[in-house]
Amino acid sequence: MKQKVHSESSDCCSCEHDHHENHNHIHNHNHDENHNHDHNHEHGGEFNLKNEILPLVGILSLYAPGVIFENQLHNTFYSIGEYLLFIPAYLLSGWSVLKTAGRNIVRGRVFDETFLMTVATLGAIAIHKLPEAVGVMLFYKIGELFQDIAISRSRNSIKSLLEIRPDYANIQIEGELKKVSPETVNIGDIIVVKPGEKIPLDGEIIHGNSQVDTSALTGESVPRTVRIGETVFAGTINKIGALVIRVTKLFDESSIAKILDLVQNAKSKKAATEKFITKFARYYTPIVVFTSLAVAILPPLFISGATYSEWVYRALILLVISCPCGLVISIPLGYFGGVGGAAKRGILVKGSTFLDTLNAVSTVVFDKTGTLTKGVFKVVEIVPLNGWNEQEVLRLAAKVESHSNHPIAQSICKAYGGKIDEFEIRDYEEIAGYGIKAKVENRVVIAGSDRLLHREKIYHDNCQLEGTVIHLAVDNIYAGYIVIADELKEDARLAIQALKRMGVERTVMLTGDNQAIASRIAQQLGIDTYEAELLPEEKVNAIEKLLSTASKHGKVAFVGDGINDAPVIARADVGMAMGGLGSDAAIETADIVIVTDAPSKVAEAIQIARKTRKIVWQNIGFALAIKGVFIGLGIFGIATMWEAVFADVGVAMLAILNATRAMK
């Protein structure tokens, strides 16, 4: 339970004893330092396929005639015809690579992919292999185009999420409506949202009824009906009726602002595999350069008949083959696709590192209320005792609970329905994990769990009641109890079944509710183990115990609704929160936010993580295997520069295409 544990009866044996008890473009994976091509979309603009293809057409118009008429051009005076066609084509296709390589050398960062390509192609020109030199740069540029197309597609789900950012608010000033930026609206201001408009800020409806489309945030296609007194959230769309809303949060503090910030900054938390590739490239590239140097110099010294021109050419081939483009580009793109694909399904992942951790999850721990159950409580029974009647018990319970925002407290106030004079309530005290104590109508009233009665030494005979129960006592005399009902979420059982099918070893439920309720729900859902009657701090202890007993490589995920589960969410290996379109603690504390509030999304998140990791390692294995084969062929003189181009750019293109599958 959150905030206070209402429904927990103590595990008392006798009632007479006290109870003891959170891309700048995908090129930022260090690739931006090495390769900073000037596509406008890197600087915040839109990717435009036409603008990218036009330069390629120009390069091909020079390159194709050069290849077709190579012999004739080569036989011109000093081969001037060959140079007139191929050098412009080389500069047009490779300028960004040459510029980046030069800039990095000046900065002291010599060994990178642009350096390899620059040395290889300039060397090819020096030994008069102009078509091959241009081919390397041209096909690299084509590979970049495929990469940018893939990134553009991968960004679509993120982009669609960012487009829900409201552009304006209709603020009511002296009876007139004025369009202003949402950032300028203050708490308490009155705004009007017309049919078809986005709701610009979080607020409470003070006039009007409507239906609100939350699909942009949650993926849910069915609009939600809203009425006076209900809270609506920024980024959702008002469908049919005009709404007058009192703003309850500044724009920067609204749920949508925090979600947007979360998504935009997800790239900052890289997976271990991404970090490994960056480190790998740092050692790999110098080894390739010095190996190529050895291939160029040593064989002519020791092998009879070997010529420098032949072995320099082989060394240049080795340089081109060895470019780590496929790895450097496709691995971050794979993770980016995984994060984007998850966002498209209402699962916001704060960084690729959490996708990696999800792969190793062996234990999934659920909170109960608001996570496995709807958290929508309703009074189903009132049992008065010791001379009190039902209406009196409900009235006093509603008054003492009126200051609490706990769902159970709100359900009691709703059942009462009468007006509550706040001046009648004095000395209000909320006792975490137990209940509430206050002075109401000049009488000391306590409302809460069975263990609260034991704490206050109030005699009663109702220790083992089944269900969510609020006990009431007035002036130390037991006055009766109220039974509250909560429903299971529709997909809760399917969620547990899906996790077990995926091979998750343990499913656990932690709750502040009593043993009887916890046992019944665990049995209904097929949960392996549960712990009941937990105070908030005891949930942290329970997670600590699960972490210590998890298998060596197994991780523990905790799924909660984010209201008062923040310490537990933070402590787990992976904290997952039901976003609830308004739970700030969920958005800020959790590693993964499930916007749709559906527990079945937990299994879906793990499935996305597993698929993403599989794709990433497919790319690593494929790229290294192909390059290994072609490096051998290049050293023995079997592979030409054209095969080298395939081994470099071809592998990169295939890896990029494979990485885009993470979106699906």
Please tell me whether residues 407 and 370 are part of one structural domain: no
Please tell me whether residues 561 and 534 are part of one structural domain: yes
Classify residue 507: in a domain, yes or no: yes
User: Across 139-291, where does the E strand assignment appear?
Assistant: 169-173, 176-180, 190-193, 203-207, 210-213, 224-226, 231-232, 237-238, 243-247
Residues 6+ apart with CB under 8 A from 642: 132, 135
What is the predicted pLDDT for the residue at 140? 78
Is the pLDDT assigned to residue 43 strictly greater than 60? no
What is the predicted pLDDT for the residue at 478? 93
What is the predicted pLDDT for the residue at 45? 46
The shares of helix, strand and coil residues in the chain, as percent rounded to the nearest 5, are 50, 15, 30
What is the predicted pLDDT for the residue at 83? 87
Please tell me whether residues 572 and 593 are part of one structural domain: yes
Contact 634, 314 (CB under 8 A): yes
Please tell me whether residues 497 and 579 are part of one structural domain: yes
Cβ-count burial 114-134 (b if 16+ within 10 Å, e if not)? bbbbbbbbebbbeeebbbbbb
Q: Where among 451, 485, 519 does a domain terminate?
A: 485
What is the predicted pLDDT for the residue at 604? 94
Classify residue 160: in a domain, yes or no: no
The total number of structural domains that make up the chain:
3
Is the pLDDT assigned to residue 514 strictly greater than 80? no
Please tell me whether residues 544 and 434 are part of one structural domain: no
What is the predicted pLDDT for the residue at 50? 77
> How much is the average pLDDT of 55-71?
86
Is the pLDDT assigned to residue 171 strictly greater than 80? yes
What domain range includes position 177?
169-264
Classify residue 105: in a domain, yes or no: no
What is the predicted pLDDT for the residue at 228? 92
Classify residue 225: in a domain, yes or no: yes
CA dist 79 and 221 (Å) reads 66
pLDDT digits (tens, 9 = 90+) for 317-330: 888 777 776 677 77
Please tell me whether residues 472 and 397 are part of one structural domain: yes
pLDDT digits (tens, 9 = 90+) for 618-647: 888 888 888 888 888 888 888 887 787 777
3-state secondary structure at position 464: coil
Classify residue 92: in a domain, yes or no: no
Of the pLDDT bands very low, low, confident and very high (cuts 50, 70, 90), residue 42 is very low
> How much is the average pLDDT of 26-52?
47
What is the predicted pLDDT for the residue at 232? 87
What is the predicted pLDDT for the residue at 662? 74
What is the predicted pLDDT for the residue at 150? 65
Please tell me whether residues 477 and 512 are part of one structural domain: no
Classify residue 497: in a domain, yes or no: yes
Is the pLDDT assigned to residue 214 strictly greater than 60? yes
Is the pLDDT assigned to residue 20 strictly greater than 60? no
Contact 235, 164 (CB under 8 A): yes
Please tell me whether residues 507 and 400 are part of one structural domain: no
Q: Which residue has the higher pLDDT, 283 or 45?
A: 283
Of the pLDDT bands very low, low, confident and very high (cuts 50, 70, 90), residue 655 is confident
What is the predicted pLDDT for the residue at 153? 63
Is the pLDDT assigned to residue 404 strictly greater than 70? yes
Question: Could you say which of 148, 202, 367, 450 is catalytic?
Answer: 367
CA dihedral of 77, 81, 84, 86, whole degrees rounded to 10: -120
What is the predicted pLDDT for the residue at 254? 73
CATH number at residue 557: 3.40.50.1000
CA 664 to chain centre: 16
> How much is the average pLDDT of 182-196?
92
Q: Where among 437, 466, 485 does a domain terminate?
A: 485
Q: Where among 198, 231, 264 does a domain terminate?
A: 264
Please tell me whether residues 235 and 364 are part of one structural domain: no
- Return the structure tokens found at 74: 């080569």
Work out the mean pLDDT of the chain and round it to a whole number. 80
Please tell me whether residues 236 and 370 are part of one structural domain: no
What is the predicted pLDDT for the residue at 340? 78
What is the predicted pLDDT for the residue at 510? 92
- Return the structure tokens found at 63: 């390159």
3-state secondary structure at position 277: helix
What is the predicted pLDDT for the residue at 161? 54
Please tell me whether residues 437 and 492 are part of one structural domain: no
Phi/psi of residue 542, each to 5°?
A: -65, -40
What is the predicted pLDDT for the residue at 34? 39
Classify residue 126: in a domain, yes or no: no
Contact 335, 352 (CB under 8 A): yes
Whether 367 is catalytic is yes
Enumerate the H helices of 230-307 as residue ranges. 255-264, 272-302
Is the pLDDT assigned to residue 204 strictly greater than 90? yes
Classify residue 179: in a domain, yes or no: yes
CATH number at residue 237: 2.70.150.10
Q: Which residue has the higher pLDDT, 655 or 179?
A: 179
Please tell me whether residues 451 and 521 are part of one structural domain: no
Give all strands of the β-sheet with 169-173 in edge-to-edge order.
176-180, 169-173, 190-193, 243-247, 203-207, 231-232
Is the pLDDT assigned to residue 588 strictly greater than 80? no
3-state secondary structure at position 364: strand
As a whole-number percent, the residues of the chain with pLDDT over 70 amount to 82
Range name among 197-206, 225-234, 556-565 with the lowest pLDDT average: 556-565
Is the pLDDT assigned to residue 348 strictly greater than 50? yes
3-state secondary structure at position 356: helix
> How much is the average pLDDT of 170-180?
86
> How much is the average pLDDT of 41-45?
40
CATH number at residue 386: 3.40.1110.10
